[in-house]
Amino acid sequence: MAGRLLIVSHTRPGTYAYMKLVTQSEDVVILDRRNADRRRIHQRATPERRNGERRRRNVMTDLQKSGWALVRR
């Protein structure tokens, strides 16, 4: 089964606990641990190191707006 991934903002621990209780077994709930962009120098990675963007969708706006984001795995 494909399942879904529910990412909850680290500023909403109550929402995280609630979602862990009410989600279905094939769904995964995780707490977003990112505080900021890890790169200090804003430059692209070399092409041989990365083969494109790994993230399928930018969820930062959803996390900032509602405190959680839902994506397919």
26-71 pLDDT, tens per residue? 889 999 887 666 566 666 656 666 666 655 667 888 888 888 888 8
30 lies in some domain = yes
72 lies in some domain = yes
pLDDT per residue as tens digits for the range 21-31: 998 888 899 99
Please count the structural domains in the chain: 1
Give dist(CA 27, CA 7) in Å, integer: 11
Which range of residues forms the domain containing residue 66?
1-34+54-73
Q: How many separate helices (H) and strands (E) can be counted in the chain?
A: 2, 3
